[in-house]
Amino acid sequence: MQRETGFCVECRDVTSYTLQKKLVKKMIRGEELTFEITCAICDRCGEFMSVPGIIDLNVREVDEQYRKLKDLVTIEDIYTLMKLYNIGKAPLSIVLGFGEITITRYLLGQVPSKEYSDVIRNALFSPEYMEQKMLENKDKIAMSAFKKSMTKVNELKNIFTVSNKMIGVISYIFERMDEVTPLMLQKLLYYIQGFSFALNDREMFIENCEAWVHGPVYKDVYNIF
């Protein structure tokens, strides 16, 4: 366990403290939820200490756990979406059918509703969905912004040749695992397909794998990542 020093208001002295994980209950949107946060515990009296950076850390911990619990997109997801389609905050908000400053608020930390989160996630994982939203709101954004984003949409449509079922499985893997290498992803997809045949007597997705030097590979997935 990590030990540092800080001022303990109970001991009225500079003492060492230990960072420990504690469960806390918080009310969010009228619902009481339990989160695991990092706390600084005085080694002398055992009371909580306020040390530099601990509040910001707790805010991030609660935010990450809440988004994961409610299956909501992260700030990083939104930045990825903007980069994928070469689109700014305001145009993206309008294209997705939100208010003009909605994406800006989300990037500043506001947590989206499940409905808005699903819209963002659909755009992130489906160029066809993004194309549909772009065409629906074409007249509401500048033509230059529309053309730039549509160019990216068409590029991604040419890359994303895998089925929606495959994209769904990949999204599920990414959601459940902290880190997935391209090689690990290929092996997981191979095992998932095998288990589907063994347990359900049917394929999970329509793609066929190829035998490469380091094992089974779904070529289109390989090209994407």
| pLDDT tens digits for range 179-199 | 889 999 999 999 999 999 999
pLDDT tens-digit profile of 111-134? 999 999 999 999 988 888 999 999
**Residue 2: predicted pLDDT:** 52
Enter the tokens of residue 124. 């992130």
Question: What's 9's domain CATH number?
Answer: 3.10.20
d(CA 190, CA 184) in angstroms, rounded, equals 10
Does 29 share its domain with 82? no
Beta pairing class for 48-49 and 31-42: antiparallel
> Among 159, 181, 206, which residue terminates a domain?
159
For tokens 């999970």, the residue is: 204
pLDDT of 32 reads 95
Residue 160's pLDDT is 64
Residue appearing with tokens 């930045």: 79
Residues spanned by the domain of 193: 164-224
- pLDDT (mean) for 152-163: 79
| Final residue belonging to a domain, choices 52, 69, 86 | 69
Nearest to 222 by CA among 190, 192, 183: 183
pTM: 0.68
141 and 79 share a domain?
yes
Same domain, 145 and 175: no
What residues contact residue 15 under an 8 Å CB cut-off, 6+ apart? 5, 6, 7, 8, 42, 43, 44, 45, 49
Question: Over the stretch 197-218, which tens digit does the pLDDT of each residue have?
Answer: 999 999 999 998 999 988 999 9
Residue 109 DSSP one-character state:
T
**Residue 172 to residue 57: CA distance in whole angstroms:** 27
Number of domains within the chain: 3
Cα separation, 55 vs 87, in Å, equals 33
